[in-house]
Amino acid sequence: MTLFDHRRREIQDQIAPLATRMRPRSLDEFVGQKHILTPRKVLRRAIDEDRVPSMILWGPPGSGKTTLARLIAGATGFHFEQLSAVSSGVKDVRAVMAGANDRLGENGRRTILFIDEIHRFSKSQQDGLLPHVEEGTVTLIGATTENPSFEVISPLLSRTRVYTLESLSDDDIGEIVDRAIADVDHGLGRDSITLSKDAREFLLRASSGDARSALNTLELAVESTAKDESGQIIVQLETMEESIQRQSRYDRLGDMHYDTISAFIKSIRASDPDAALYYLARMIDAGEDPVFIARRLVISAAEDIGLANPNGLAIAMAAQQAVSFVGMPEGRIPLAEATIFLASAPKSNSAYKAIDRALGMVRSSRDEPVPNHLRNAPTRLMKELGFGEGYVYAHDRPGHFVEADNLPEKIKDERFYEPGELGSEQAIRDRLFDWWGERYRRKPRD
């Protein structure tokens, strides 16, 4: 390192954002991720024993993926190279590999190649990493916010271990914030800084487990607060609210999109309107397509509420039409109305099961002949063949019901629909039992 390089680093350390300056310098300073980093855990043992495998770090923003990669390199003595999948290409990877080979041959020093947002590398770019990882030219550490099962090619996954990082808890964020306020060398400790109780609680809550967001917000709030007469900086709630940098993790193409809509539908299915409204609010706040939400409500109405309350489908369709008609933000109201109605309604998936049973039968067997009495007979020949013979018009009979074998002969005893016992479906069950007797008491074959 030259004198100029040293001076440049000193200046960068002074002007760098607080989140960068406060990166932990050892594993002991690292906050959170105890499930993989406490003593005797697999990853921590691998680091301590200097046998670090290639790995994928999968976790939300601000959970410490980049910091952890740097600390692993520092703890093991590896040379550290960092690339961003957003701005790097094959040429950059080749240059890193060439340098790694030279170091390995000259002094036996190994190299960690850290690739941020590795999910943004194309399939061919990921393919290009395989021989270098397999030969041990580099130890690969990839960081991603997306599910590696879908975003990282299988051959690369098979050569790496996936470690899942979790959002930091409020206690973790509190520890990081307190450390930044007290740190004289790298943090804000040269000034006397106090956060009001409300301001601190708001910061921890609004950061949503993202350490980087918490430190950036803290730095801006401190810079926006004037010193009082005694030279202290006391940050109040209002200043903290103005400083918060809300960065939604919701991505219409990412894991959060699928996780949130899944939680939304499953909360409706679980008859929990409060949870369903919470996930609805998260999607609305993140700018999710309201028509997409409405479509899922329509599906839920048919699949989960079904015949226990047939009005659910009508309500969901009305919400879809209302959202398309009035747009947002007013569209949030019919979406909320439909969500509450469906979550509060009695549940039945009998229609969903019935059609799947019928489809299973159709796809696993030959098409059996339609019984003659159900066939059309528009010509003389068809009538002579017996088409339509024995058909009785139901509306001519008492109760508008005729008992007949309407399934093909070979499957006439099959059952596809099993009525539920909640809401409106109880009346359906009773009516079918009155018409068909034991046929609608016996359980269907799964």
| Residue boundaries of the structural domains of the chain | 33-164, 170-243, 255-344, 350-440
Mean pLDDT of 305-326: 94
Question: Is the model's pTM score more than 0.85?
Answer: no
Q: Which of 336, 281, 339, 260 is nearest to 305 (CA)?
A: 339
CATH architecture of 33-164: 3-Layer(aba) Sandwich (3.40)
Domain 255-344 - what CATH class? mainly alpha
Instruction: Give the C-alpha separation, 52 to 91, whole Å.
Output: 26
The full length of the chain comes to: 446
Pairing of strands 161-164, 192-195: unpaired
How far apart, in Å, are the Cα atoms of 280 and each of 153, 211, 247, 294?
33, 26, 18, 11
Domains 33-164 and 350-440 share a fold: no
Average pLDDT for the chain: 87
* 114 backbone dihedrals φ, ψ, rounded to 5°: -100, 120
Mean pLDDT of 209-216: 90
Q: Over the stretch 32-82, which tens digit does the pLDDT of each residue have?
A: 999 999 888 889 999 988 889 999 999 988 899 999 999 999 998 899 999
Determine the 3-state secondary structure of 75 from DSSP. helix
- Comparing C-alpha atoms, which of 252, 284, 278, 250 is closest to residue 264? 278
How far is residue 385's CA from residue 255's CA, in Å, rounded to a whole number?
60
Beta bridge mates, 81: 113
Distance from C-alpha of 194 to C-alpha of 183, rounded to nearest angstrom: 13
Backbone angles phi, psi at 416, to 5 degrees: -115, -35
The strand ranges marked E within 156-279 are: 161-164, 192-195, 232-235
Instruction: Compute the chain's Rg from CA coordinates.
Output: 32
Run of H or E including 82: strand 79-84
pLDDT digits (tens, 9 = 90+) for 268-315: 999 999 999 999 998 998 888 899 999 999 999 999 999 999 999 999
**3-class DSSP assignment, residue 56:** strand
Question: Would you call 24 exposed, middle or buried from its count of C-beta atoms within 10 A (0-12, 13-18, 19+)?
Answer: middle
Predicted pLDDT of residue 151: 87
pLDDT confidence of 221, banded at 50, 70, 90?
very high
Assigned token pair, 167: 């959002």
**pLDDT tens, residue by residue, 75-103:** 988 999 999 988 888 888 899 999 999 99
When the candidates are 1.10.8.60, 3.40.50.2000, 1.20.1250.20, 3.40.50.720, the CATH number that belongs to 170-243 is 1.10.8.60
User: What dotted CATH number matches 350-440?
Assistant: 1.10.3710.10
The DSSP bridge partners found for residue 113 are 81, 140
What whole-number distance in Å separates Cα of residue 211 and Cα of residue 62? 5
pLDDT digits (tens, 9 = 90+) for 332-381: 999 999 999 999 999 999 999 989 988 988 888 888 888 877 788 778 77
Greater confidence, 313 or 443? 313
DSSP characters over 293-347: HHHHHHHHIIIIIGGG-THHHHHHHHHHHHHHHH-TTTTHHHHHHHHHHHHHS--
- Higher pLDDT pick, 384 / 345: 345
Q: Beta-carbon neighbour count of residue 17 at 10 Å? A: 12
Where does residue 5 rank: exposed (0-12), middle (13-18), buried (19+ CB within 10 A)? exposed
**Which residue has tokens 């410490």?**
64
The pLDDT score that the predictor gives to residue 170 is: 92
One-letter amino acid of 217: T
Sign, Cα dihedral of 375, 380, 381, 383: positive
